[in-house]
Structure 1
Amino acid sequence: MTTDSIAENLGVPVPDLWRGAHRDDRARPRSRQRLLGPSSIGLCRRRAAYELHGTWPTDLTDNMHAAILGTWLHEGILRVLREQYGAWTELELTDGVILGHADAYWAPDSLHRQVVGHEAVEGSPLSDVGVVEDVKTKSTRALDVVVRQGPSQAEWFQVHLYAHLLRTGGLKDHPGLPTGEPLPVDVVRLRYVGREYGQVVVHQRAYDEDVTKQALAWAEDVLASPEPEAMPRDLDGPGLSIICDNCPFKTACWNLDQLADDRAPQTILAKDSAAITEALRAYADAAEVESAAKKRKAKARKMLDAADAGTYGAFKLSWSGGNPRPPEPDPEAMTRILDGLGIDIPMRSGGRTSRTISVSRIPETS
């Protein structure tokens, strides 16, 4: 049975859209590259090392529909930036060690006239500065994180590395722009587009050499690794990090095929008593902070109970819910009725209770 819905079976085979889409996605050049990519820098050193050392993915899934939809949307966005706003798109950049593809580049107006032979069309955003842009499609929830917290360090690393490669002559095999020559970049930009509703959030800043140096130092650490296992896991692991949940190397990284008794993957981090002690310290510290934060939050929530929705300083207040619920079964009443009729109450296995943890600090002795 394919993943395509069939309204009527006429004996005519229906091509499976997603099966073909996944084959197409895995054949893309970026899926097969073995140099370190800017999009991997700043994310997780072990994952980057797996890619660098050519490790075959242990977790190739065929349900990454959202990611493929994002790829298709991404291609349409770049076409608009290219055809409507004069951007140079999908520029291949490399220094022989790092290989990336910058989504969009606007050369300064003077260079644009020199290369193209005429001024930019009306409505073009060209100015006297060079701009490199990376486009990212996000779910509504992920986009909300960007709105609240701004771009991640890894995302700023990525776009700064594109700028660095352009500024150092890393453009290769381009039909329009001069290759192998430094190209001016003064501004780096991140454009986020919501996959569900098309919301757009843009962050841009002046190119910062210090950010590039940090990104290159991160990359050098991975490049020096003798094997992936020599690199630390920089994220919290399956179940705690959506990046780990979707990582093509999560089984190899977290030994998922060796887990027993439904234990969490993170148990492999508690390899000795010192690691367990450190985890207990982290748990106790976090519990104390969480308890104090919950009390402050509860008081603030009570204070806001009568406040109208609206904007207050740097904050926006909105309300949802409060609607009547539909009737629902009453287990206690059903039990009384069955007892009154002398009917045995149907039972099912209760399973096991969830394990709870108690961590307390041992008082120091003098």
Structure 2
Amino acid sequence: MAAPLTEQERTTADLLLEWDRTRPRSRQRELGWSEVGGCRRRAGYRLAGVEPSNPGGSVQAVLGTAIHEAVQQRLNETAAPDDLVEYEVVFAGIIGHLDRYEAEPEDLIDVKTTSSRWLEHIKIWGPDRSHLWQVNGYAAALIAKGIRVRRIVIDYIARDTGEVYRWVGKPTVEAVRDALDWLREVRDADLDMLHRDYEPDGPFCGHCPFLDICWNGYVPDRDRRSVLFVEDPDGEKWARQLADARAAIKAAKALEEEAKGALDALRPNVSGKSDILDVGYERGLQWTITNPERLDGDQVRADYRKAGAKPPVTTSTSIKLGFAKLPDAEP
């Protein structure tokens, strides 16, 4: 059995994060185009010049950085004279660093790393809004300098499988306008009123350099989101939001099941994955039928009872919030 790490010892993850934090890009304090369209509150902290409260960063991001640096090194050796590699641009006062621009055929190319699961989502639904705004912001900066951009390209690389997927589009005025509208709303808003757009226990907040500042004030030993009640202590409002949200989920689930049931009339397969079916919608339909094996809990418990033993169990804390009739409420 391996000996536990001491406080003085550092893991490989620690070393990777330490390396990443020494990079000039990691020490950048200004809002960058890669953050436009993400969390409004994080953007607000950047624009206000707030000093980060957390180191930020993640091993996944470091892996993406390593890929970028490998590509950049190779391009520096092979790029044509008019190509641009890791080129700094500024548009609407927002700084950015495009991965590369190929003068022939006038393509602006950005590289993104992701998981294979999310890559499947991108293949069907296209790039995230923030990715589209970022590359269009880069394109706008180049065009403003008199550099033609015929296409914008995003190369997605799955970190866990190595699969590469290339998305190709054209620069659009609409994407730039939407990004600038978003920036204007963030700039015009009071910092404390900007929405926290991600969950405090999720990866985006967990790796955010403003995590502690953003969620500061939550009730000790409670969910970080309890700070929302501290800021707006209106129990009726939050209870109504909970009820409305659950009603909307129930209604949406019913609509989903109805549509799935209706479309089952078109299902061509009884096992495996079907061919993609075009029904006139902007995306095709595909059925996947699996037969997973699950542990028969009832049988396991019965076998243990026969043997005069209790099955092994683990305990965990579950917090359930429901609605109940008030004692003095009308029936």
Task: Classify the TM-score, shorter chain.
Answer: 0.7 to 0.9
Maintained 8 Å contact 1:310/1:318: yes
Distance 2:43 2:31 in 1: 7
Maintained 8 Å contact 1:93/1:99: yes
Task: Show the counterpart of 2:244.
Answer: 281
Maintained 8 Å contact 1:82/1:88: no
What is the Cα deviation at residue 323 of structure 1?
5.6
Equivalent of residue 62 in structure 2, options 49, 68, 83: 68
What is the Cα deviation at residue 40 of structure 1?
0.6
In structure 2, the CA distance between the partners of 1:325 and 1:164, relative to structure 1 (3 Å rule), is: same
What is the Cα deviation at residue 317 of structure 1?
4.2
Partner amino acid, structure 2, of 1:71? T
Partner amino acid, structure 1, of 2:218? Q
Equivalent of residue 228 in structure 2, options 264, 268, 272: 268
Task: Show the counterpart of 2:90.
Answer: 94
| 1:116-160 alpha-carbon deviations (Å, 9 max, x no partner) | xxxxxxxxxx23xx2212110111112122112111111111001
| 1:231-290 alpha-carbon deviations (Å, 9 max, x no partner) | 222x24234x542343232333233x6334544626726642334424422321222221
| Equivalent residue runs for 1:160-179 within 5 Å | 160-169=136-145
Task: Show the counterpart of 2:303.
Answer: 333
In structure 2, the CA distance between the partners of 1:141 and 1:219, relative to structure 1 (3 Å rule), is: same
Unaligned runs of 5+ in 2: 278-283, 326-331
What is the Cα deviation at residue 352 of structure 1?
6.2
Does residue 152 in structure 1 map to residue 117 in structure 2? no
Larger Rg: 1
Partner amino acid, structure 1, of 2:131? E
Task: Show the counterpart of 1:185.
Answer: 149
| Equivalent residue runs for 1:280-359 within 5 Å | 280-297=243-260, 306-307=270-271, 309-313=273-277, 314-322=284-292, 330-338=300-308, 354-358=319-323
Unaligned runs of 5+ in 1: 4-12, 108-125, 170-181, 340-344, 361-366
Does residue 197 in structure 1 map to residue 161 in structure 2? yes
Task: Show the counterpart of 1:237.
Answer: 199
Residue identity over aligned pairs, in percent, reads: 25
Equivalent of residue 258 in structure 1, options 218, 232, 246: 218
Maintained 8 Å contact 1:94/1:100: yes
| Count of residue correspondences | 310
Any idea what SS the aligned residue of 2:44 has?
helix
Distance 1:323 1:348 in 2: 20
Does residue 131 in structure 1 map to residue 107 in structure 2? yes
| 1:319-352 alpha-carbon deviations (Å, 9 max, x no partner) | 445468799982333234338xxxxx69999676
* Pairwise CA RMSD: 3.8
Any idea what SS the aligned residue of 2:185 has?
helix
In structure 2, the CA distance between the partners of 1:283 and 1:271, relative to structure 1 (3 Å rule), is: farther
Any idea what SS the aligned residue of 2:46 has?
helix
Distance 1:49 1:138 in 2: 26
Distance 1:34 1:348 in 2: 49
| TM-score, normalised via structure 1 length | 0.70
Task: Show the counterpart of 2:329.
Answer: none
